[in-house]
A and B are shown apart, each in its own frame.
Chain A
Amino acid sequence: MEISSNQLLRFSTAGSVDDGKSTLIGRLLYDSKSIFEDQLAAIAKTSKQKGHEGIDLALFTDGLRDEREQGITIDVAYRYFTTPKRKFIIADTPGHIQYTRNMVTGASTANAAIILIDARHGVIEQTKRHAFIASLLHIPHVIVCINKMDLVDFKEEAYDRILRQFEEFSSKLLVTDIRFIPISALLGANVVNHSDSMPWYRGAPLLHTLENLHISSDINKVDARFPVQTVLRPQSEDYLDYRGYAGRVASGVFRKGDEITALPSGFTSKIKRIDLSDTEIEEAYAPMSVTLLLEDDIDIGRGDMIVRSKNQPNITQDVEVMLCWLNDKPARPRAKYAIRHTTNEQKAIIKQVIYKIDINTLSRKTDDFEIGMNDICKVMIRTTKPLMIDSYRDNRASGSIILIDENTNETVAAGMVL
């Protein structure tokens, strides 16, 4: 079994019970043989109690007691499966508008998003919302699964019509890679195996698509950014002169000998050595956790960013951000929040709300500046000290922020730098 070179792919799914989302995930897990016998036995028992015929695959994704009782997904649940080609992490998120924040959370780390459409109903408001969130969070790959094809007699016309509907509104979105697959999660058609019922579909089944998405270039490999987490200074005699900057490469590549600048101070130096734990390496790239050692003894600490001198981010106290409000307490105008950007933490105020987005129509509202739970809006933020930022479109890792309410310590908002 050769697994050592396999990649990890994270994808999110959004949808409600009716879309067949749980059934689809259950199907992927079941057909990829990721479900154990004792789990299967437990599900079979519950299916029988509920009077279902056969095994209800949707039950695999039931989580908390409240979710089981109400038959809904409330929070993000993470699921895992592996094929001989890849390891997969599914962020299984709810689809209903009141759980927008959970969808945003699940989408934030995803390489790919699966959007489910019921073939009988076509593109509905919820579909647009899911596609918008995928675009907002800049998920590199979107796979639109047109589900329940069995209920429209596997007809190509039904598929074509939905495809056109989707393309019509998605032209406004910023998604570079969209694919469409007609499936029946219930029957397993085009999920893992090709379906004989839809000979007109010549594309790959879902799993094959997921296994072959090109994800190596999803991370920015151009702009070298290294947010410092902590400084390693051993007390032992063997390493008296060791001063290492520990962190995870956010993007780009660092090589031994590179000329670097430490921000915000602007001091320059060269990379003397790169350690991957106790092994010295020649180059480090995202998302490796490494330790950088520099030629010169300069003052660098947590929250600073080491970058290649020839390629630097914007250093600014005024940040234009697309903000998603995550807390049930609305935003307080002019109030001070803690802002986290990479490992850097400062204070910030929301200076101005530029517009709010109606998530169902995708239209801008410029007459309503209240920010409440699940609202998405463009704002200007002013920070007490400069942040070293890139635009989120160019660089997810150095273009994302969260706001924390220091009265409650809760994470109240997530933002994408424009």
Chain B
Amino acid sequence: MSRYYLNYLDELESEAIYVLREVWAQFQNPVILFSGGKDSIVLTHLAKKAFWPCRIPFSLLHVDTGHNFPETLQFRDDLIDTLELRLIVGSVQESIDKGRVVEEKGKSATRNVLQITTLLDAIELHKVDCAIGGGRRDEEKARAKERFFSHRDDFGQWDPKNQRPELWNLFNGKHFEGEHFRVFPISNWTEMDVWNYIKREEISIPLLYLAHQREVVWRNDSWIPNSEFLTLGPDEEVETKKIRFRTLGDITITGGMESNADTLEKIVQEVAGMKQTERGNRTDDKRSEAAMEDRKKQGYF
């Protein structure tokens, strides 16, 4: 009898595959929100498994802040070549040039919030009715309340107090013209689960996640990578450190950590002993206690 049970990683995988197949069955034009980060890479891997031997029936949508790690873009392009997928790029730079958004000013300016407009514009332009994201409920307190199938009104907004009840695994993706859904197949995964799964499935990831030598600047309690977009403050200096990134996003706000973990085994060990949350190195979440909730309501990832 005990032969017939799944271990937790198999159960999480099975749940995610079920959700992805529901998306395919319930929506006309779903896309995978692809950032080049590990969660969206795992999502793409799961989609490959869900529809084998068919090709993944979703396009990838990348919201490009213009502030990229070159490695991430290379990884993205290689992946869509291998999987023969269509890539849609929403460009924040274009949104700025068209006057849809105004660039923040000052040393701590980021394009983080600007992405919301670019994302929603891309969703409208390409008539996307479901954007599949790699969001996880363990990441942040506002995300802990997120549904698998999360409804967005025709302004792309999330109403956390009026979410549809979600019972058993009966997902209701019904929507009116112009509205869309965000769907989060790996809602129940933790950072540790993601790493264990990447290791088990031997999924390739950008080498930025492994410890490597890099020029960095100490800012907001983490190592911000040196790049053409970085303006140094008077007290700041560029150093070379052995670091790795726990999350990958906009290069100007993604902090690295000092580490010697240069293999997946070592990363899994390191994550298991980690004392800080992974978003602890993300300047975007530090702005206020409800920073994530506020951005999510407006239509953020």
Asked if chains A and B come from one complex, the reply is yes
* Pairwise interchain contact A229-B18, C-beta atoms closer than 8 A: yes
Q: What's the Cα separation between A229 and B20 when bound, in Å? A: 10
Task: State the interface size on chain B (CB cutoff 8 A).
Answer: 64
**Counting CB contacts under 8 A, is B70 at the interface?**
no
* Pairwise interchain contact A8-B167, C-beta atoms closer than 8 A: no
* Pairwise interchain contact B21-A64, C-beta atoms closer than 8 A: no
User: A111-141 vs B: 1/0 string, CB under 8 Å?
Assistant: 0000000000000000000000000000000
**Counting CB contacts under 8 A, is A18 at the interface?**
no
* Pairwise interchain contact A38-B276, C-beta atoms closer than 8 A: yes
**Counting CB contacts under 8 A, is A376 at the interface?**
no
- The one of B6, B53, B166 in contact with A105, judged by C-beta atoms closer than 8 angstroms, is B166
* Pairwise interchain contact A409-B175, C-beta atoms closer than 8 A: yes
A248 (CB) vs chain B CBs: closest residue? B18
Interface size class of A (residues with CB under 8 A): 35 or more
User: A230-245 vs B: 1/0 string, CB under 8 Å?
Assistant: 1011111011001000
Residues of B within 8 A of A242 (CB): 53
* Pairwise interchain contact A402-B5, C-beta atoms closer than 8 A: no
A88 (CB) vs chain B CBs: closest residue? B8
The majority secondary structure among interface residues of chain A is: mixed
* Pairwise interchain contact B161-A402, C-beta atoms closer than 8 A: no
* Pairwise interchain contact A74-B161, C-beta atoms closer than 8 A: yes
B18 (CB) vs chain A CBs: closest residue? A248
**Counting CB contacts under 8 A, is B170 at the interface?**
yes
B144 (CB) vs chain A CBs: closest residue? A77
* Pairwise interchain contact A78-B276, C-beta atoms closer than 8 A: no
Residues of B within 8 A of A52 (CB): none
Residues of A within 8 A of B1 (CB): 216-217, 221
- The one of A37, A291, A326, A401 in contact with B275, judged by C-beta atoms closer than 8 angstroms, is A37
Q: What's the Cα separation between A75 and B164 when bound, in Å? A: 11
Known: A108-B168, A287-B14. A5 touches B174 (CB 8 A): no
User: A276-291 vs B: 1/0 string, CB under 8 Å?
Assistant: 0110000001011101
**Counting CB contacts under 8 A, is B51 at the interface?**
yes
* Pairwise interchain contact B18-A37, C-beta atoms closer than 8 A: no
Known: A229-B22, A338-B174, A409-B174. A400 touches B167 (CB 8 A): yes
Q: Which of A265-318 contact B (CB under 8 A)?
A: 275, 277-278, 285, 287-289, 291, 302
Choose, from B115-123, B184-192, B223-231, the stretch at the interface.
B184-192
User: B1-28 vs A: 1/0 string, CB under 8 Å?
Assistant: 1101111111111110110011011000
Residues of B within 8 A of A148 (CB): none
A172 CB to closest chain B CB (Å) equals: 24
Residues of A within 8 A of B88 (CB): none
B179 CB to closest chain A CB (Å) equals: 8
* Pairwise interchain contact A75-B163, C-beta atoms closer than 8 A: yes
Q: Which of B152-176 contact A (CB under 8 A)?
A: 160-161, 163-170, 172, 174-176
A50 CB to closest chain B CB (Å) equals: 13
Residues of B within 8 A of A289 (CB): 13-15, 17-18, 21, 50
A297 CB to closest chain B CB (Å) equals: 18
Choose, from A79-87, A154-162, A192-200, the stretch at the interface.
A79-87
A211 CB to closest chain B CB (Å) equals: 13
User: B227-262 vs A: 1/0 string, CB under 8 Å?
Assistant: 000000000000000000000000000000000000
Residues of B within 8 A of A76 (CB): 145
Q: What's the Cα separation between A102 and B13 when bound, in Å? A: 26
Q: What's the Cα separation between A410 and B165 when bound, in Å? A: 9
Known: A78-B144, A238-B53, A326-B165. A287 touches B188 (CB 8 A): no
* Pairwise interchain contact B53-A63, C-beta atoms closer than 8 A: no
Most chain A CB within 10 A, of B9, B138, B145, is at B145
- The one of B8, B49, B277, B293 in contact with A8, judged by C-beta atoms closer than 8 angstroms, is B8
B5 CB to closest chain A CB (Å) equals: 5
- The one of B22, B52, B169, B172 in contact with A409, judged by C-beta atoms closer than 8 angstroms, is B172
A247 CB to closest chain B CB (Å) equals: 7
**Counting CB contacts under 8 A, is A253 at the interface?**
yes
* Pairwise interchain contact B54-A234, C-beta atoms closer than 8 A: yes
Q: What's the Cα separation between A271 and B41 when bound, in Å? A: 33
Q: What's the Cα separation between A89 and B11 when bound, in Å? A: 12
Q: What's the Cα separation between A217 and B3 when bound, in Å? A: 11
Residues of A within 8 A of B24 (CB): 230
**Counting CB contacts under 8 A, is A6 at the interface?**
yes
Q: Which of B170-211 contact A (CB under 8 A)?
A: 170, 172, 174-176, 187-188, 190, 192-193, 196
* Pairwise interchain contact B168-A288, C-beta atoms closer than 8 A: no
**Counting CB contacts under 8 A, is A98 at the interface?**
no
* Pairwise interchain contact A287-B15, C-beta atoms closer than 8 A: yes
- The one of B53, B138, B167, B168 in contact with A239, judged by C-beta atoms closer than 8 angstroms, is B53
A81 CB to closest chain B CB (Å) equals: 9
B136 (CB) vs chain A CBs: closest residue? A80
* Pairwise interchain contact A221-B167, C-beta atoms closer than 8 A: no
Q: What's the Cα separation between A38 and B141 when bound, in Å? A: 13
A106 CB to closest chain B CB (Å) equals: 9
Residues of A within 8 A of B138 (CB): 79-80
- The one of A5, A39, A343 in contact with B277, judged by C-beta atoms closer than 8 angstroms, is A39
* Pairwise interchain contact B7-A6, C-beta atoms closer than 8 A: yes
* Pairwise interchain contact A36-B275, C-beta atoms closer than 8 A: yes
A402 CB to closest chain B CB (Å) equals: 5
B13 (CB) vs chain A CBs: closest residue? A289
Can you report 20 A-B residue pairs in the complex whose CB atoms are below 8 A from each other? Answer: A3-B8, A7-B11, A36-B274, A36-B277, A37-B276, A63-B142, A63-B144, A65-B293, A75-B163, A78-B144, A87-B193, A216-B1, A235-B54, A239-B53, A247-B21, A248-B14, A248-B18, A288-B6, A400-B168, A410-B172
Residues of B within 8 A of A (CB): 1-2, 4-15, 17-18, 21-22, 24-25, 48-55, 137-138, 141-142, 144-145, 160-161, 163-170, 172, 174-176, 187-188, 190, 192-193, 196, 269, 272, 274-277, 280, 289-290, 293
Across the A-B interface, give the 5 residue pairs with the lowest CB-CB distance, nearest first. Answer: A8-B8, A277-B49, A289-B17, A409-B174, A108-B167
Identify 6 new A-B residue pairs, CB closer than 8 A, beyond the known A108-B167, A285-B4, A289-B50: A8-B11, A75-B145, A77-B144, A248-B17, A302-B25, A410-B164
